[in-house]
């Protein structure tokens, strides 16, 4: 595991670290302050930060886009909920199970398709997502709940605990992204993104690295799905595997800046806030605008908000990134 070694540079505390710390303190204290009225909003923002962060680890660093990324949320939630309901396992352990199930799925789908160019991988993940959806939907009700879905027993309802779990997962995701961005592993991934053939010639084991990044990404998404299932207390195949979540997550990632540490946080927070306050009133316009955001960002600012800021304000870079 030599390539996982992280080169610890002199850790200078920059302004961004203090800002992050202040936000973290606010988020930790939130349930005990007037902010607690907006706890569901904060919780969902954190959920999106985690999901977009998991997307970032595979898409941002390697340049491969799993259009079916939502399946890891779905698979995680089903693995967790079924192990709680059928096996009577504690929800905390079920979250781990959900993450591991998604990770196993990522291995199965990633192993053959990550050898090929991006497009095969992207569409094969959509296909697996659809396959999982119809299999779970059509399976006998005793096993997966079928079209009826599965409900968790009401005595498990713990919104505050779920909030803290999602907050911890968000922090872990950001830290993992930070370490990847500054490790030899991350360098390998970025080399793959820039020029896979050149990277392979220089001795980067592209297939192995991509697969590892994909599995880490799936692990995080699977755990997020499990926590979210616990929070909502109910899962159902069609909405768990709804491709819209991928589209929205992708728009957030592209908007914030793929392949950066702060990009997914900014993208998820800004777009989810706008969605919560404004777009929710116009459900049709919402997805149209999400599509437009993807098109505009790809054409005009492929580096995203953070990349754009870095370019336009080099002084901010010293301060912030």
Partner 1 sequence: MIAWETLAQVLINGLITGGIYGLIALGLSIIFGVMRVINIAHGDFMMLGAYTSYWLFVYSGGLINPFISLIISVPLGFIVGVAIYWILVNRVVEAPELMSLLLMFGVSTFIANMALWAWTAYYRGIPYTLPSISIGSIVIPLCRLLAFILAIAITFGLYVLFTKTYIGKAVRAVSQNRLAASLMGIDVVKIFAFSFGLGAAIAFAAGSLITMSVERAFDPYIGGHYTLLSFCIAVLGGLGSMRGALIGGLIIGLIESFTGGLFIPVSLVPAIYFAIMYLVLLFKPTGLMGR
Query: Which spans of this chain sit near partner 1 (rule: CB under 8 A)?
Result: 63-65, 67, 109, 112-113, 115-120, 122-124, 126-128, 130-131, 133-135, 137-138, 243, 247, 250-251, 254, 284-285, 287-288, 290-295, 298-299, 302
CB of 293 to partner 1, least distance (A): 8
**Rounded CA gap, 54 and 106, in Å?**
12
CB of 103 to partner 1, least distance (A): 18
Pick 2 or 197: Cβ nearer partner 1: 197
CB of 62 to partner 1, least distance (A): 10
CB of 110 to partner 1, least distance (A): 11
CB of 246 to partner 1, least distance (A): 9
Closest CA to 307 of 317, 296, 292: 317
CB of 294 to partner 1, least distance (A): 3
Pick 91 or 267: Cβ nearer partner 1: 267
**Rounded CA gap, 137 and 189, in Å?**
36
* C-alpha torsion 168→260→216→118, nearest 10: 150
Pick 19 or 134: Cβ nearer partner 1: 134
**Rounded CA gap, 243 and 164, in Å?**
27
Pick 40 or 302: Cβ nearer partner 1: 302
Degrees, nearest 5: CA angle 280-283-286? 85
Instruction: Please state the separation of Cα 112 from the chain's center in Å.
Output: 22
**Rounded CA gap, 110 and 216, in Å?**
12
Query: Are 276 and 73 a contacting pair, CB within 8 Å?
Result: no
CB of 20 to partner 1, least distance (A): 28
Pick 36 or 138: Cβ nearer partner 1: 138
**Rounded CA gap, 39 and 46, in Å?**
10
Pick 250 or 265: Cβ nearer partner 1: 250
Closest CA to 73 of 235, 181, 198: 235
Q: What DSSP element (H or E) covers 151?
A: strand 150-151
Pick 152 or 253: Cβ nearer partner 1: 253
Assign 41 to helix, strand or coil: helix
**Rounded CA gap, 216 and 136, in Å?**
24
**Rounded CA gap, 44 and 198, in Å?**
40
Q: Residue 20: which residues within 8 A CB-CB, separation 6 or more?
A: none
CB of 22 to partner 1, least distance (A): 34
Pick 22 or 127: Cβ nearer partner 1: 127
């Amino acid at each position: 595991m030599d390539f996982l070694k992280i080169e610890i540079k002199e850790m200078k505390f920059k302004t961004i670290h203090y800002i992050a710390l202040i936000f973290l303190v606010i988020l930790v204290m939130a349930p005990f302050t007037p902010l607690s009225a907006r706890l569901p909003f904060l919780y969902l923002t954190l959920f999106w930060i985690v999901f977009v962060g998991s997307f970032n680890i595979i898409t941002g660093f390697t340049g491969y886009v799993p259009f079916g990324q939502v399946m890891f949320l779905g698979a995680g939630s089903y693995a967790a909920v079924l192990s709680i309901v059928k096996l009577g396992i504690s929800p905390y352990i079920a979250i781990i199970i959900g993450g591991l199930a998604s990770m196993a799925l990522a291995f199965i789908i990633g192993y053959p398709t990550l050898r090929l160019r991006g497009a095969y991988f992207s569409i094969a993940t959509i296909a697996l997502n659809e396959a999982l959806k119809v299999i779970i939907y059509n399976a006998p009700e005793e096993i997966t709940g079928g079209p009826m879905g599965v409900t968790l027993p009401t005595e498990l309802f713990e919104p505050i605990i779920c909030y803290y779990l999602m907050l911890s997962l968000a922090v872990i995701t950001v830290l993992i992204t930070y370490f990847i961005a500054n490790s030899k592993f991350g360098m390998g991934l970025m080399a793959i993104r820039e020029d896979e053939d050149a990277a392979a010639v220089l001795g980067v084991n592209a297939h192995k690295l991509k697969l590892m990044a994909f599995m880490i990404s799936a692990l995080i998404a699977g755990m997020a799905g499990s926590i979210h299932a616990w929070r909502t207390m109910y899962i159902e195949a069609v909405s768990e595997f709804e491709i819209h979540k991928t589209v929205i997550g992708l728009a957030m990632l592209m908007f914030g800046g793929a392949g950066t540490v702060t990009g997914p946080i900014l993208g998820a927070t800004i777009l989810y806030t706008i969605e919560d306050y404004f777009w929710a009133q116009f459900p049709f316009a919402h997805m149209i605008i999400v599509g437009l955001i993807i098109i505009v960002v790809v054409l005009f600012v492929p580096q995203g908000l953070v990349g754009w800021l870095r370019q336009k304000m080099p002084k901010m870079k010293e301060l912030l990134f």
